[in-house]
Structures are given as C-alpha cells and as structure tokens.
Amino acid sequence: MQRAISLGQCHVSLGFLYLPGRVIVLSAAGDGPYGELATLAALRYGARLWPDDHSLKSHLKGLVEKQTRLHLTDREDVGSEAIGLRLFDFLDARTQMSFYRKLEDGIYILRFYAAKAFSKKQHRAMEQEGGMIMAALARHGELRKKSHRPVLKQNARTMIADSLTRADRHLTAREVDVCKSTLLGKSVEAISLDLGITENSVRTYKKRAFRRLGISSQAQLFALCFNDATER
C-alpha cells in the first residue's frame, strides 16, 4: 500500500510493506527542501495524515515496538524558515527521538514489530507492488528472513545492562550503576540514596562515564544502549 502527501514544498511517498513473520516496514521517500525532515514527519505520523483511512489504521493497530536506529532532531536544525518550522510541527517536542534507518535516494524506513504474524499471501501481495521503495529494501537486505526477528526482545533494564557492561566500554562497576539508574529515570538524590554515596559522587561518576563513552548527554547514552540492542 502506498500513499503520497505534500508538506509545503516537499513531496513524500509513504508505503507499508509486510515482511515474513511479524515485522512491518513503514517506508518513505521525500524530496525537495527539508526532504529528510518531511520524511521523518511522515514516518512518525502516517496514521494522522490520513485519519479517515481505516486500512492504514488497521496496519498500525497492535504494533508494540518501534525499531532500528535512534536519531535526534532539534528545532534549531531547520532554521527560521517557515517551511522548516511547519514540518517540525509534526514532531512532538523540541528534541524528538525518531527510530529510523536511511537507505538511499532519500528513502527512510521505520520498522515495527507486529502483534500478529502475517501470511505469505499478504507478503506476496505487497511484493507485487514493487517500485523504488521495494527495490531499495531488497538491496539492503530488508527482505531477507534472517533480518526479520524482533530485535528488542529484552526489557529496558537488560538492554541497558548488556550495553554498559561490554568489555570495550571500560566502565567501572560504580559508573555502570550510576548510568543504569540515570537511564531508568532516577534523580541524582535517589541514586545517591540507593548506592550510599554523596550526590557529588554521583555527578562525578556520571561525568567520568560519559567521558569514557565519548558522549555528553543522557539522550546520547540512551541512543548508545538502544543501538547496541538493535545490532545484536
């Protein structure tokens, strides 16, 4: 199923693709000024762009995970031009986390893990539509069965722990504990009480860990852990 929408001066083609098992790919290709931002907006809000399209709604129903890569988009990236700000209104907040993967020729994909498996007949029907998006997905291995397993099998705690305790991270046990607690939403005060250390020590361990990991923010720390999980 493929649709098209114009966002200001940008044209975005949006399509759904069923893959074997329980994976759906929401794919999009955008051109014109701010094509990337328009494409991300279409990916994230496909259901809202066509609120009366019951078929589109049914494809989104029951999806439980959004996967692949984590990309941070900031309002400052689009400057002050009206078209850029209008496109950014499709995103929720000043800093918006969008899970997507860039392929080629302005094509982006957003992969979902579906609650129910899809039949081979449904998959063949989607294959018959062909087109640029399908061809690009095939070239990048998106149609190979081995790539269709649900990536995020583990819960958030396991995902974070597995990433932070990797040997190449070179983090101390205390630095790992502080980072884990930070990503689980605990305040400096709460971490201090849990670990029995001062608040200044919490900040110091966090700063050291960030320096070892080559990052500077909690958002980047989450991206690091999330991307590790999706690459397993």
> What architecture (CATH level 2) is domain 156-231?
Orthogonal Bundle (1.10)
Question: What was the pLDDT predicted at 160?
Answer: 73
Residue spans of the domains in the chain: they are 2-147, 156-231
Question: What was the pLDDT predicted at 48?
Answer: 44
Distance CA 114, CA 67 (A): 11
What digits encode the pLDDT tens for the residues 184-213?
778 888 899 889 999 999 999 999 999 999
Residues of the chain with pLDDT under 50: 1-2, 5-8, 45-51, 53, 56, 60, 62-100, 113-115, 126, 129-133, 142-154, 232
Q: Cα 89 from chain centroid?
A: 18
Question: What was the pLDDT predicted at 175?
Answer: 94
Question: What was the pLDDT predicted at 120?
Answer: 63
Cβ of 26: how many Cβ atoms within 10 Å? 24
The token duo for 151 is: 């990536």
Distance CA 172, CA 9 (A): 51
Question: What was the pLDDT predicted at 50?
Answer: 44
Residue with tokens 């209104």: 89
Q: What is the DSSP string of 56-121?
A: HHHHHTT--EEESEEEEEEGGGGTT-HHHHHHHTTSSSSEEEEEEEE-STTEEEEEEEEEEEE-HH
Distance CA 218, CA 186 (A): 12
